[in-house]
A and B are shown apart, each in its own frame.
Chain A
C-alpha cells in the first residue's frame, strides 16, 4: 500500500512538477510554452482533469492574471478600495482559469509557429504566431502581448486572435455590467461568482 501511495505521489509530482523554465526571449518563450501545452493536451495518457491542472499551472506561472484583472476593470481600478480590488482579483483569477480550461477542452491537434516579434517598448513585445489546424481548416493568426518589464520573467498579458483582443473583449463585457449597475464592483464580483458556481 505504501509503495502504491509513493508511486501515486511520484506520478503526480512527475505530471505536475514545477513547470520547466521557458526562454526569456519573448518569441522563444511563446513558442516553447505553446508547444509544451500542445504536447500535454494531445497526450492520450493524461485524462481531462490532469490536462486542466497542467493548463491552470502553466497559466498561473506565465500569464499576468493580476494585471489582466485590473485592466478589465478599466478606470474603476483607480477609485476602488484596495480590499475590494483584492477580492475582485481573487474571483477574477478563478473566473479566468475556469474559462481558459473550458476553452481548451475542445482542443484538436494543431501546428504552432511563431512568425515574428515586434518590440513595442521596454515593457512590451508583440509576438505574432499562427496556428495551423490539422483538419485543413484555415490557419489562425494569434498575436501575444508579452510584458517584459522583468526581462528574466516574460508574462502574457493579452492574446489577439485574428485581430480581436481577448482582454479588450473582456474589459468591454465587464464595462457593460458595471455601467448598468452604477459602477458597483460588487455586482461584477457576484456575476463572476455566479459563473463559477454554474
Chain B
C-alpha cells in the first residue's frame, strides 16, 4: 500500500479517535464478557504453548538467551526510529539510529549490544505511544486473542506499526528496502522469538501474579495500562491519589 492510500485510511481513523477516545477512560471496558473469555483462552494458550516453550528457552545457556534478546530488541529499534521522529524527539532518533547501526555492524547483526556501552539507550516507541504523545486517549480496553491486552488506540497503533516499521515493510509486506528483502515467516518468527524471550524473562513475575490475584483479569489489565502510561510519558507515573490518607 502506498503512502497516499495509507494516509487516506489511517488519518481519518486517527482524527475520529482523537475526538472521541479522549472522553473514554482506559479503565472502561469495550466488551468485558468477550474480553474475559478471550483472556481465559489466552491463559490456556500460555499454559499449553507459550509457558512450556519459555521454560525450555530459559534453560538455554545465558549467552544464547542474551543474544536472542539483543537480536529481537535491535530489530524492534527500527520501529522506534520513525516513531521518535513523529514525536519530535530528535535525541531519541539519534539514540535509536545510532544503536541500530552500531549493533547491526559491530554487534554482529544485533546479537551483541555494544551500543549500550557507548551510552546509546533507545526507548521502545510504537504508533500507539506516538498517538498517546499527540494527546489521543486510550479509548476502551479489550483483549485480543494471543496478542493480549490492548485499547482502541493501541490496537489502531498495532496495525499502523506494520506500515511504519521498516522491518514489517520488508517482511510482512515483502517490499525490498535498500536491497534487503524478506518474507512473512521472518516477521512472525521474530515476533514469536520476542514473545518467548519476554515470557521467559517474566516467568516468576507471571507466576507470582497468578498466585496472588483474586481477579487475575483485572491485575493484567492494571499492569498493561500502567505500563502503557509510563511508556507514553517516558517516565514512571507518580501521581497516585494518596493525599487524604493521613494517619
Give A residues with C-beta under 8 Å from B.
Answer: 64, 66-67, 70-71, 99, 102-103, 106, 120, 123-124, 126, 135-138, 143, 145, 147, 149-150, 157-158, 160, 163-165, 167-169, 172-173, 175-177, 191-192, 194-195
- In the complex the two chains form, what is the Cα distance from A147 to B201 in whole Å? 32
Closest to B62 in A: A136
- Which of B204, B215, B223, B245 contacts A106 (CB under 8 A)? B204
B212 at the interface (CB under 8 A from A): yes
Cβ of B245 and Cβ of A172 under 8 Å apart?
no
B214 at the interface (CB under 8 A from A): yes
Cβ of A173 and Cβ of B240 under 8 Å apart?
no
- In the complex the two chains form, what is the Cα distance from A140 to B181 in whole Å? 37
Distance to closest chain B CB from A102 (angstroms): 6
List of B residues within 8 angstroms of A66 by Cβ: 247
Cβ of B218 and Cβ of A176 under 8 Å apart?
yes
- In the complex the two chains form, what is the Cα distance from A126 to B242 in whole Å? 13
- Which of A102, A163, A176 contacts B226 (CB under 8 A)? A163
The contact sample of 9 A-B pairs, CB cut-off 8 A, is A102-B211, A137-B201, A145-B240, A150-B247, A158-B242, A160-B236, A168-B222, A173-B213, A176-B217
Known: A106-B204, A136-B62. A172 touches B212 (CB 8 A): no
List of A residues within 8 angstroms of B204 by Cβ: 106
- In the complex the two chains form, what is the Cα distance from A67 to B247 in whole Å? 8
* Inter-chain residue pair count (beta carbon < 8 A): 84
Residues of B in contact, count (CB < 8 Å): 28
List of B residues within 8 angstroms of A137 by Cβ: 201
List of B residues within 8 angstroms of A167 by Cβ: 240
Give B residues with C-beta under 8 Å from A.
Answer: 27, 62, 201, 204, 207-208, 211-215, 217-219, 221-223, 226-227, 230, 236-238, 240, 242, 245-247
- Which of A143, A169, A195 contacts B236 (CB under 8 A)? A143
Cβ of B223 and Cβ of A169 under 8 Å apart?
yes
Cβ of B242 and Cβ of A165 under 8 Å apart?
no
Cβ of B219 and Cβ of A71 under 8 Å apart?
no
- Which of A64, A164, A177 contacts B247 (CB under 8 A)? A64
Known: A172-B221, A177-B218, A191-B214. A165 touches B240 (CB 8 A): yes
Cβ of A169 and Cβ of B226 under 8 Å apart?
yes
Closest to A66 in B: B247
Closest to A140 in B: B205
Closest to B225 in A: A172
List of A residues within 8 angstroms of B212 by Cβ: 99, 102-103
- In the complex the two chains form, what is the Cα distance from A123 to B208 in whole Å? 31
List of A residues within 8 angstroms of B218 by Cβ: 172-173, 175-177
Known: A102-B212, A176-B217, A177-B214. A164 touches B238 (CB 8 A): no
